[in-house]
Structure 1
Amino acid sequence: MPVFEARSGQAVTLGRLLTELAQISRRDEGCITYSVHADVENPFRFVLYEVWGSAESLAAHDCTDHVRRFSVDVVDLLEAPFYVTRLRELT
């Protein structure tokens, strides 16, 4: 789950870019779920919830033009570099 924190005044723009990325990424091969979530307590924080059919599908997604373009476009909108927390389902 990538976690992003927008700079002051950039939350709307970041949310829009994340939504656009999600719409495109849902069409990537192996994508099962790809959704954008806003933190209810911190209006500057967003989380992508992604489920991929395989590690290879995720790796291929990370190399797509739309992800690379997003990674460049988002840099100036962030308070700090985004980070990724990997999860495994327990139930």
Structure 2
Amino acid sequence: MSTLTVNVRFTAKPGREADLKDLLQSMIEPTLAEEGCLGYELYLHPTDPRRVALLEEWVDADAMATHFRTPHLKACAAALEDILVEPFQLRRFAEIA
């Protein structure tokens, strides 16, 4: 079974950059504590502070599906609706064997 890597891209509304960064940073600790989470890292765009990328790694798709049902992710998703200029973009990648 191969690991699952997820890339999520976010763009904050003007003036909401700090809110986005703070919200996503608050997700690091509880997400890393989840069974099956191998990595959860945030990256700020080098020239546009409104854009943030998230790189996640999970042992498998089931672990990530469990993550989607956690209270902290549900609360984050609800808060993102007010912060983002557009819906986030999520892409899943499987390891090449």
- Aligned letter for 1:27? A
In 1, Cα distance between equivalents of 2:51 and 2:20: 10
1:74 is paired with a residue whose SS is helix
Shift of 1:87: 2.3
Distance in 2 separating the partners of 1:25 and 1:10: 23
TM-score by length of 2: 0.87
Q: Deviations over 1:5-64 (max 9, x none)?
A: 000000011100000012210101100000111111221111110000111100000111
Residue aligning to 1:80: 86
Distance 1:39 1:86 in 2: 20
Structure with more relative contact order (C-alpha pairs < 8 Å, separation 6 or more): 2
What are the ranges of 5 or more consecutive residues in structure 1 without an aligned counterpart?
A: none
Q: Cα RMSD (Å) of the superposition?
A: 1.4
More strand, by proportion: 2
Q: Report what 2:3 is aligned to.
A: none
Q: What's the TM-score once normalised by structure 1's chain length? A: 0.93
Residue of structure 2 equivalent to 1:49: 55
Q: Which runs of at least 4 in structure 1 moved beyond 3 Å after TM superposition? A: 88-91
Equivalence for 1:8: 14
Q: What fraction of aligned residue pairs are identical, expressed as a percent?
A: 29
- For residues 63 and 52 of structure 1, the distance between their equivalents in structure 2, rounded to whole angstroms, comes to 15
